[in-house]
Chain A
Amino acid sequence: MALPMVDATLHAFALLFTGDAGLWHIIWVSLKTSVIGLLLAAPPAVLLGYLIAMNRFRGRRIAIWLAQAALSLPTVLIGLLLYLLLSRRGPLGELQWLFSQPGIVFGQCVVALPVLLAFTLAAVQGLDPRYAETAVALGASRRQVMLRVLYEGRFGVMAAVLSGFGRVISEVGCALMVGGNIEGQTRTITTAIALETSKGEFAQGIALGIVLVALALLMNGALMLLQGDAHAARERG
């Protein structure tokens, strides 16, 4: 029983280190769609998180509740909603994004948005309010106050971005439903693992799993480093 596992693992390493074109293309599509989706989602999400954290308005608590609830929304449900939006008869059907990389990017954007928003919100809320007050007192405009506050909360905002990346690179439901898992086009790491496993082809699945684990370790390592810096800064303060 253990022997096929060992064989598959050895084959997986061989695929990784011999530069298997198909495998690396899947990794490339995953990284590309995740990073672009994240870059598109980050500015509005960070801005929204900042605005909700810094302003008192009617419905603010509902906005925070919705942002936090969206964190636990299954990505397959997001995929379903986007499928309905992007399908030929859907309101965004004319874009022809269904089963295409722009469609996956759109999906990754929607998946990343709540994570980025909720984490930024928490990071800004946790900051000393005197940072913003001091900037105002020294003559900063609203935009300048925002830049100063986000700079002071940069560890939290970076943690938000890293967590967002972790969420989009590892999700399968949305990429599968919106991308369609088309070989050479919209096949991502997670959709490929699901497919190869269902076919009983474990080597490629394990190879891609190794890449995902490496990415997860890398992201969490970076996060730990950042948090370590933030703790050190707090202790100094």
Chain B
Amino acid sequence: MSISIHTSISAAVYENENQRLRDERRKALLGVRGLRKRFREHNRERLLFDIERIEIATHSAYVLTGINGAGKSTLLRVLGGLERAEIDSLRFACDDVLRVHPYPRALREAIVYVHQHPILFSTSVAHNIGYGLQLRKMPKDEIARTVADAMAWAGVTHLQDHDPAKLSGGEKQRVALARAKVLQPKLLLLDEPTSNLDGAAREQVIELIPTLVEAGSSVVIACHDRDLINLQGVQRMKLRDGRLEYR
């Protein structure tokens, strides 16, 4: 009798946990309404994009495509808080963000942008990966453990004491991904992570991206790369004529 009750309770707890996880997955992570970016060109103001809404769900992957000059990188930089734009409203993890320039600390720590050509600080590879954790005042031994795990994940353990300036493009990109991953960002913005990479370096980077979503981040990737666009489970967005289309 007691075994049966115990089993029923366990099943209910398990079901509730599953439901909670499903709800969590459906939750909107980022919601932007009315996003416009203008800039001056030859003394004339030009509207780069005018986006009615952007919805990014938790634990999801998106690719953002569009021709060169469509504004993909600029859109990622705006979402990453690196560039100013006109924003009517912004919600992040169900909270209204009242100040968007600059982002409040919580948002700065939750969203990480990785540059198309990542730059590494002139320290060591291990210090680069642990930099964001230092900013978050994580204890040193925990940083060392997390950095070691991340280096193994990115396949750069053998480079840990190398001068970052001496790394190849693919190695730099993997170190930059590891540097972003250790922060467990809720939203990771990757700007053309495979551009300028070929062969094995490109494939290694592509293999890392789905594992970022598995680790709990939502990922938006601006790219032209067919293999990234066709990744399984990835939702597609296209920036065309200043508008964002969901496909």
Point out residues on A near B: beta carbons under 8 Å. 128, 130-131, 133-141, 144, 148, 151-152, 233, 236-237
Which single residue of chain A is at the shortest CB-CB distance from B115?
Answer: A130
A151 CA to B127 CA, complexed, in Å: 14
Q: A134 contacts B119, CB within 8 Å?
A: yes
**Which of B41-49, B89-97, B131-139 forms part of the interface with chain A?**
B131-139
Per the bound structure, the CA–CA distance linking A139 and B115 in Å amounts to: 14
B118 touches which of A134, A141, A152, A233 (Cβ 8 Å): A134
Inter-chain contact B119/A138, CB cutoff 8 Å: no
- Contact: B82 with A136, CB < 8 Å? yes
- List residues of chain B with CB under 8 Å of any chain A CB: 80-82, 105, 108-109, 112-115, 117-119, 121-122, 131-132, 135-136, 163, 165-166, 179-180, 183
Q: A136 and B131: CB pair below 8 A?
A: no
Q: A131-B121, A138-B131, A138-B183 are in contact. List 8 more A-B contacts (CB 8 A).
A: A130-B118, A133-B82, A133-B113, A137-B112, A137-B114, A138-B135, A148-B121, A236-B165
Cα distance A114–B166 in the bound complex, in angstroms: 36
* Cβ B165 vs Cβ A139 within 8 A: no
Chain B nearest CB from A171 CB (Å) reads 34
Quick check: A236 and B166 within 8 Å, CB to CB?
Answer: yes
A–B complex contacts, Cβ < 8 Å, 28 sampled: A130-B115, A131-B121, A133-B82, A133-B115, A134-B118, A134-B119, A134-B121, A136-B81, A136-B82, A136-B108, A137-B80, A138-B131, A138-B135, A138-B179, A139-B105, A139-B108, A139-B132, A139-B135, A140-B135, A141-B105, A141-B135, A151-B122, A152-B121, A233-B122, A233-B165, A236-B165, A236-B166, A237-B165
**What A residues does B131 contact at CB under 8 A?**
135, 138
Q: How far is the CA of A135 from the CA of B134 in the complex (A)?
A: 12
Residue of B whose beta carbon sits closest to that of A232: B165
A130 vs B121: C-alpha distance when bound (angstroms): 10
Task: Return chain A residues, CB-CB under 8 Å to B163.
Answer: 236
B113's contact among A137, A144, A152, A237, by CB below 8 Å, is which?
A137
- Chain A residues in 8 Å Cβ range of B132: 138-139
Contacts of B80 in A (CB 8 A): 137
Task: Give Cα A128 to B163, complex, Å.
Answer: 17
Q: With the chains together, A236 CA to B118 CA distance in Å?
A: 16
CA–CA, A136 to B112, complex, Å?
9
Q: Chain A residues with Cβ under 8 A from B108's Cβ?
A: 136, 139
Query: Which residues on B sit within 8 Å (CB–CB) of A233?
Result: 122, 165
Contacts of B121 in A (CB 8 A): 131, 134, 148, 151-152
Which B residues are in CB contact (< 8 Å) with A148?
121
**Selected contact of A137 from candidates B82, B117, B136, CB within 8 Å:** B82
* A134 touches which of B105, B115, B166, B183 (Cβ 8 Å): B115
Which B-chain residue is minimally distant from A237 (CB atoms)?
B165
Cβ contact of A144, chosen from B112, B122, B135, B179, cutoff 8 A: B135
Q: How far is the CA of A148 from the CA of B120 in the complex (A)?
A: 12
B105 and A131: CB pair below 8 A?
no
Chain A residues in 8 Å Cβ range of B122: 151-152, 233
A237, B118: Cα distance in complex, Å: 12
How far, in Å, is A42 (CB) from chain B's closest CB? 22
| Most chain B CB atoms below 10 A, which of A134, A236, A237 | A134
In the complex the two chains form, what is the Cα distance from A236 to B120 in whole Å? 13
Residues of chain B within 8 A (CB-CB) of A135 are 131
**Which A residue's beta carbon lies closest to that of B163?**
A236
Query: How far is it, in angstroms, between the C-alpha of A213 and the C-alpha of B234 when the chains are bound?
Result: 68
Interface centre among B108, B118, B136 (most CB of A within 10 A): B108
Query: 3 smallest A-B Cβ distances: which pairs?
Result: A138-B132, A130-B119, A236-B165
CB distance from A96 to the nearest CB of B (A): 46
Contacts of A130 in B (CB 8 A): 115, 117-119
Q: What's the Cα separation between A130 and B132 when bound, in Å? A: 15
Q: Specify which chain A residues have a CB less than 8 angstroms from the CB of B82 in the assembled complex.
A: 133, 136-137
> Bound complex: CA of A178 vs CA of B80, how far in Å?
53
Q: What's the Cα separation between A128 and B131 when bound, in Å?
A: 18
A119 to chain B, nearest CB (A): 19
Assembled-state Cα–Cα distance A135/B119 (Å)? 10
Looking across the interface, which residue of chain B has its beta carbon closest to that of A134? Answer: B119
- A134–B132 CA distance with the chains assembled, in angstroms: 10
Residue among A131, A136, A139, A144 making CB contact with B119, cutoff 8 Å: A131
